[in-house]
Amino acid sequence: MKTVALPSGERVPALGLGTWMMGERGGHDRDAVNALKRGLDLGMTLIDTAEMYGDGGAEELVGEAIRGRRDRVFVVSKVLPSNASRTGVVAACERSLKRLGTERIDLYLLHWHGSVPLGDTLTGFAELKRAGKIRYWGVSNLDLDEMEELWALPGGNGCTANQLLYNLGRRGIEWNLMPALAARGIPVMAYSPLEQGRLPGKRALKEIAAARGATAAQVALAWVLQRPGVIAIPKAANPTHVAENRAALDLVLASAELAALDRAFPPPRGKASLAML
């Protein structure tokens, strides 16, 4: 398994498991749990979830999937901005821990920046870290100006990751946000690396896939996985799809193929608004 270094030096899988839109139906989802377990078996031992996903339902599914092997899994979850006050983030984390069935979250993220001052959220994160409830904290969907605001705060240099929308069709963060994060050793956690299944229909991806005996989805995912300092967290709701994603790690795109993808999906030529889903 390819790994990516966190600012602490700890290394985590470059390819993990996303859970957005899991747990939406309520109750038990055996297919989703089996998909997550299959991913863990294949070495994709980073799982990303959030209190927002399925109103906590996704965290419950993750809890079931990791039962019996918690120490071999790097668990990421996220707190809603409305719960991100100093006391609110502590209470939200306690609820997430209960749903996950664990005593700690490895990486706890602010889902996006809302009305609560970032300093209040950092205070809550610091309390959780001191109590051993979280190992690291980070953010999601924060653009460069918000990251600079964060870094200027006491303790702001403790940010471990920024989870962002990033794929071949959403390359705006390459202009200035990714370089700023890379300069501090902060990885990008790329959500929706396949643009919710829309990218594989593009001709450039299909052509490369046909020549390589792969799927267009694997080519799109392989492109993300070849970006330095990037962790991809595609969501897959069945074991077959998970195995297909895992195979993308073994697909190394040649320079000519990367150039063809740059022509089809050009990198940014200037600053753009941060994209979110």
CA distances 176 to 6, 127, 181, 226, 272, Å, are 20, 32, 9, 19, 10
Contact (Cβ atoms closer than 8 angstroms) between residue 230 and residue 166: yes
- Residues contacting residue 188 through CB under 8 Å, at least 6 positions apart: 161, 162, 163, 164, 166, 173, 178, 181, 227, 229, 230, 231
According to DSSP, residue 139 is labeled E
What's the longest Cα–Cα distance across the chain?
Answer: 55
Q: How far apart are CA 72 and CA 75, in angstroms?
A: 10
Single out the catalytic residue among 53, 108, 136, 191.
53
Q: Following CA atoms 175, 181, 235, 206 in sequence, which dihedral angle do they give, to the nearest 10 degrees?
A: 40
Decide if 135 contacts 77 (C-beta within 8 A). Answer: no
Q: How far apart are CA 258 and CA 260, in angstroms?
A: 5
Number of other CB atoms surrounding residue 97 within 10 Å:
21
Contact 200, 143 (CB under 8 A): no
136 is catalytic: no
Active-site amino acid positions: 53
